[in-house]
Chain A
């Protein structure tokens, strides 16, 4: 863990990266009487790794669900790439370049690794039904072009050996990796990772961290991740937002957040 507020490239983090890619303003989300999120605002800047942390039930996953359109917050607004978004559908979010992985792996269990990742290319493929039915000519050319991209992702994630296996039978760590590959296949601008390291052993966590950093560095993908492993959060992220009971209690660099009294109270409890 870094003692100084430095990101991995060695620059001080305080000089926040690029322009704002996505900003969340005064979001409130309720399910009947249950307030999942109350008046939360933060922003995600282009090219950064933004962590969202908080105790269980803090509203982290709900936040991601708001961002990619599964939930529609009752109040507040989300601005993505300078455009205010009103009630987007998940598939619209996808075509806007927001990809996501899930806390409990949400792979297509009956399909092979290859097909899973190829499905991530769906939006980039546009040959119509009749070419598809012939599976020759343009449809095949398109299929091969996308297969090449997918093979690059498979190489990148080092999952060549499980290419043709049905994902349902893979060990958990590999499933998480395939799910990351499927999200990468969409060539997203904003990648939302919901606990990418949950349930992994140390070695798998280290691998996954390396992949996340590589994605961020090489493809310039902006990443928002939820994670419970504080070591991982502090090492990976440029800025951290902390939620508790649906409210934002802190926002800043890992070092700032770590020193914040409200965060310490939230995690360690406070004597009454």
Chain B
């Protein structure tokens, strides 16, 4: 009843081409942003911020990255974690090269390294598609993961093989390192994610996004429109890996800390991000957030949320039940809506528009 575009006439193409053409959507986004920027720091405690919100943001960004590649351009990749790792390690190398550089700039620049590596491993995509491309990107995953452990230059010949997250401040406020408060790290993550999501949305709604989708839907016809397949695919790899790289750098510098860098960028992470994209909805930016919430947020919320509301669960049992629940929910949602949560969300909005009538 309240969600309706009736009476909202558009008299310019600019208004018609807006990403959120309906007023209620714009209000909704404003409320979500307000909650994220003001609500979460005010209400949430440190535990909630570090174990739910920061992982959610990091995974959202990685999912957006993979969605650009898989959802928009139709190229399946299993190398997401490796590209995230490239971001993390190049950010670490740069902090040792330029200790005085603003860490946020470094996190963004590390995305460029990841983009370059992504383009290199994307080269086979001109010749191979589908599962075969997935296998080719798997090579990136294994090779890079090997490099993270075996190439000592990457972790500055540290005996433990771990990388260190140094203390870096911006305007005197510690952003990374042990003394950075969860709120600050959350805030930096949030700003990066919001800005990068906005840019991604602009790209996919313009000429470049259309040519990606054209390549995905019918590459022969796309070529006939004058789209160069190799360029379009490599650009998709570059942008996708950039997002993954930034997400990886955020993961190590703003969330995990350096100790686990050698283990975390494994194939499991690649699959997790792929699941997020599939469950969230291929070819949908908002779906990336849904997917990240579902795969990364839900287990944590179940694990710590159930005891909090009085269902006694502890230790290993909680872990097992969480796995089972999440697994069941994944199957449930895929049966209900194979096109992901984003499509479910669209259907819900459509129903709301016509409510109380069925159509």
Residues in A lying within 8 Å of B, measured CB to CB: 68, 70, 89-91, 93-95, 99-100, 102, 106-111, 115, 118-123, 125, 127, 129, 132-135, 139-140, 143-144, 147-148, 182, 186
Contacts and interface: CB of A to CB of B under 8 A. Distances in A.
Contacts of B228: 91
B226 interface: yes
B214 to A, nearest CB: 5
A125 to B, nearest CB: 5
Contacts of A121: 207
Given A122-B226, A144-B13, A111 B207 contact: no
Contacts of B235: 129
Interface range on chain B (Cβ under 8 Å from partner): 20 to 34
Contacts of B208: 129, 132
A138 to B, nearest CB: 12
A90 B235 CA distance: 20
Interface stretch (B88-96, B165-173, B198-206): B198-206
A55 B221 CA distance: 25
A120 B220 CA distance: 13
A129 B283 CA distance: 19
B211 interface: yes
Interface in B301-326: none
Contacts of B337: none
A90 B13 contact: no
B14 A91 contact: no
Contact of A122 (B14, B211, B218): B211
- List the 8 shortest-distance A-B pairs measured between CB atoms, nearest first: A135-B202, A94-B226, A108-B217, A123-B226, A106-B221, A90-B223, A132-B206, A133-B199
A12 to B, nearest CB: 35
B206 A139 contact: yes
A122 B206 contact: no
Nearest to B220: A106
B210 interface: yes
Contacts of B227: 91, 119, 122
A186 B221 contact: no
Contacts of A115: 210, 213
Nearest to B202: A135
A100 B220 CA distance: 11
20 contacts: A91-B227, A91-B228, A94-B223, A94-B225, A100-B224, A102-B220, A107-B221, A108-B214, A110-B217, A115-B210, A119-B210, A120-B225, A122-B214, A122-B225, A132-B207, A132-B208, A133-B202, A143-B206, A144-B14, A186-B226
Nearest to A164: B16
B336 interface: no
B216 interface: yes
A99 B226 CA distance: 9
Interface in B210-265: 210-211, 213-214, 216-218, 220-228, 235
A97 B221 CA distance: 15
Contact of B207 (A89, A94, A125, A182): A125
Given A115-B213, A122-B214, A123-B226, 15 more contacts: A90-B223, A94-B224, A94-B225, A106-B221, A108-B214, A108-B216, A110-B216, A115-B210, A129-B235, A132-B202, A132-B203, A132-B206, A143-B206, A144-B14, A182-B225
A15 to B, nearest CB: 33
A122 B213 contact: no
A128 B17 CA distance: 19
A7 B213 CA distance: 41
